[in-house]
Amino acid sequence: MMNHKPRVLILDDEEDLLELMKEELEDYGLEVVSARTGLEGLDVLAETSIDCILSDMTMPGMSGEAFLQAVRKREASKHTPFFFVTARVCTDDMQDCSALINGYIEKPIASEAAVAKIHLAINGDKK
């Protein structure tokens, strides 16, 4: 049993949306750390233990896909649950990295279903 609130890293280059997602997830009892770029996200992962990652797919500099590849190369985050947060519906180009992630969460993420996906990915199926 986890003694701490699950800590989630969210990445999005849109500051207003990032703040909204942070507030919504905190309302559901999650501890949230945020970053605006893939490089900031990698810095957070180097310094902080993270239970789950939610990343935008389209960011300047390092794309969501490039961030995912960097996350999976790090021993400490190789198996950290990872979701892409996107307003887009799944397309063929998104299937390329689907084996490396836990799924997609549609924007906005303020829903019990999204939070349930996060908790399930962190805790596994306890049945």
More confident residue, 107 or 31: 31
- Domain for residue 84, yes or no? yes
The number of domains in the chain is 1
Q: pLDDT tier at 1 (50, 70, 90 boundaries)?
A: very low
Enter the pTM of the model. 0.85
Residue 122 lies in a domain: no
Each residue's pLDDT tens digit, 67-94: 999 999 999 999 999 999 877 655 555 5
| Domain extent at residue 60 | 7-110
pLDDT tens, residue by residue, 23-39: 989 998 999 999 999 99
List the CATH number of the domain containing 16: 3.40.50.2300
Distance CA(60)–CA(23), nearest Å, equals 23
Residue 124 lies in a domain: no
Residue 118 belongs to a domain = no
